[in-house]
Amino acid sequence: MIPAPGGAAPVGVLVAAGSNIDAVRNLRLALHELQLAFPGLRCSRAYRNAAVGFSGEDFVNLVVAFETRATLAEVLAELHRIEGLCGRQRDAPKWAPRSMDLDVLLFGDRVGSEPGAVLPRPDLVRRPYMLGPAAELEPDRLHPTLQQSLGALWGQFDLAGHAMTPVELEP
């Protein structure tokens, strides 16, 4: 578990998780580690969808939600550690297969660029495999810059050409 800074108020965090290399095994491992690091972790359903930005195996994606008193830098360090356990190479090309990709979508109501994160993550409202699972977990949560709920944004999303097939992760 990540140590909490003294006196810091809990922050609600949404993180996208995805893999297209031994995806089910790697997502199970990542979820186990995320649950240890962030007690109270909640998970959306997992979905299979086509790779975006390159030709490759389908991805399996989901979103997790948790509250933490950890700083953004501490959360990012933990996410990078978990990606490494799943075989992620930090120097791999951006648009390439991934054993694990963990991206902070929302960190409280924080807005702006910080080392390792742009908040809210711009892809959140452009990628159905991020927005759909995020809306499933927290439909009433307001997007900090658009001032619309995730559920409303999902309801407006054009799903044409974005097939998402539910995937069972339980053994």
Let me know if 126 is a catalytic residue. Answer: no
Please answer whether residues 76 and 37 qualify as being in contact, where contact means their C-beta atoms are separated by less than 8 angstroms. no
Q: Residue 57 to residues 19, 65, 92, 99: CA-CA distances in angstroms?
A: 9, 26, 16, 11
Catalytically annotated residue among 22, 90, 103, 126: 103
Q: Which of 91, 96, 66, 69 is nearest to 80 (CA)?
A: 91
Catalytically annotated residue among 101, 110, 126, 140: 101
Distance CA 63, CA 78 (A): 16
Catalytically annotated residue among 48, 98, 121, 127: 98
Let me know if 28 is a catalytic residue. Answer: no
Catalytically annotated residue among 28, 58, 88, 140: 88
Helix (H, G, I), strand (E, B) or coil at 12: strand
Let me know if 123 is a catalytic residue. Answer: no
Let me know if 58 is a catalytic residue. Answer: no
What is the set of active-site residues?
A: 88, 98, 101, 103
